[in-house]
Amino acid sequence: MDMYLTTEDFREMMRVMYTDQQPYTLGEYEGIPLASEVCEIMDELRSFEVRADDCWIVTYPKAGTTWVQEIMSAVMHDGNLEEVNKSHSMLRVPYFEQTFPEEVRRLKNLPTTHRIADEMPSPRVIKSHLPGQLLPPQIWTKKAKIVYVIRNPKDLMVSFFHFEQMLNLKGAGLSFEEYLGYRNSKKASYGSWWDHYLYFWKRRHQPNVLVLRFEDLKRDLRGNVEIISQFLGKALSAKTLDDITEHCSFINMKNNPMTNPDSLLAADEIPGRSFMRKGKSGNWKTHFTVAQNESMDALIKEKLHGTGLTFDH
Ligand code: A3P
- Tens-place pLDDT, residues 222-275: 999 999 999 999 999 999 999 999 999 999 999 999 999 888 877 777 777 888
Identify the band that residue 3 occupies on the pLDDT scale cut at 50, 70 and 90: low
Q: For ligand 1, atom 2, which residue shows the shortest CA distance?
A: 159
pTM for this structure? Answer: 0.94
* Alpha-carbon span 102 to 37, nearest angstrom: 9
For 209-251, give the secondary structure using H, E and C. EEEEEHHHHHHCHHHHHHHHHHHCCCCCCHHHHHHHHHHCCHH
Pick from 57, 59, 66 the residue to mutate for probing ligand 1's pocket: most ligand atoms within 8 Å of its CB: 66
Domains in the chain (CATH in brackets) are 7-152+189-277 (3.40.50.300)
The catalytic residues are 129
Between CA 225 and CA 74 the distance in angstroms is 10
Beta strands 55-59 and 145-150, pairing class = parallel
Instruction: Please list, in sequence order, all residues whose beta carbon lies within 8 angstroms of the beta carbon of residue 277, skipping any fewer than 6 positions away.
Output: 159, 162
* Choice from 129, 250, 262, 285 to test ligand 1 binding pocket (greatest atom count within 8 A of CB): 250
Are residues 84 and 72 in contact, defined by beta-carbon separation less than 8 angstroms? no
CA pair distance 306, 88, nearest whole angstrom? 41
Q: How far apart are CA 35 and CA 189, in angstroms?
A: 7
80 CA → ligand 1 middle, Å? 23
Q: Cα of 64 to ligand 1 centre, how many Å?
A: 5
* pLDDT tens digits for range 166-178: 876 666 788 999 9
Whole-angstrom Cα distance, residue 229 to residue 207?
Answer: 14
